[in-house]
Chain A
Amino acid sequence: AQTVTQSQPEMSVQEAETVTLSCTYDTSESNYYLFWYKQPPSRQMILVIRQEAYKQQNATENRFSVNFQKAAKSFSLKISDSQLGDTAMYFCAFMKHMGDGGGADGLTFGKGTHLIIQP
């Protein structure tokens, strides 16, 4: 079974600063996918960014980027030029690749990091 650990229950930064959220995971799988989801107070989970384990290049989406270290099983999220609207719970999630005919699996989530952007 996979486990996902987010060691920072809460973080607070000033608007326009850069912040990095950490995530580590434990798995024996070699092929998998990693995600960062954002859950604002409105509670709808929104995809921030995804990474395929077979890709060495780190994923980026505008102000959001990841540092994927496969050997260390680490998947941190960097938010640049943080904005008030970035205030939310951030969840790191893991999905293993099931392969052809292998069926499907659900996401395994960490406990989340509450990010607060101060004006």
Chain B
Amino acid sequence: DAGVTQSPTHLIKTRGQQVTLRCSPKSGHDTVSWYQQALGQGPQFIFQYYEEEERQRGNFPDRFSGHQFPNYSSELNVNALLLGDSALYLCASSLALAGWGETQYFGPGTRLLVL
């Protein structure tokens, strides 16, 4: 049973550039959530996708956008990168809308460094 996968594992960008991170959910899952984890902090919720739509969003600017494909995989896009966007980006998948308490399963993350 394949777990949550993310690509790439590491990425280095410069300020002002744009980046796309990818996530494939655990087999059978239809909901994908994205989190940003700064060094030494707990993850912060960015947004959640279900049925190819953004369902909920945390306190992140519009520079952060996403997409979900018919096969439930998802992309996180960040435009106009800032130094403060340097973090570990975690993808989590779950079955149905997580508000019903479905456990979220996390991928290994993508480490983004903005120079």
- Chains A and B come from one and the same complex: yes
- Which residues of A are in contact with B by a Cβ distance under 8 Å? 4, 33, 35, 37, 42-47, 50, 52, 91, 93, 95-99, 102-112
- Which residues of B are in contact with A by a Cβ distance under 8 Å? 31, 33, 35, 40-48, 50, 55-56, 58, 88, 90, 92, 97-101, 103-109
Expressed in whole angstroms, the Cα–Cα distance for A110 and B40 within the complex equals 11
A35: chain B residues within 8 A (beta carbon): 103
Known: A42-B108, A111-B42. A105 touches B99 (CB 8 A): yes
Contact A97 B104 (CB under 8 A): no
Contact A104 B98 (CB under 8 A): yes
B107: chain A residues within 8 A (beta carbon): 44
Contact B41 A111 (CB under 8 A): yes
A37: chain B residues within 8 A (beta carbon): 106
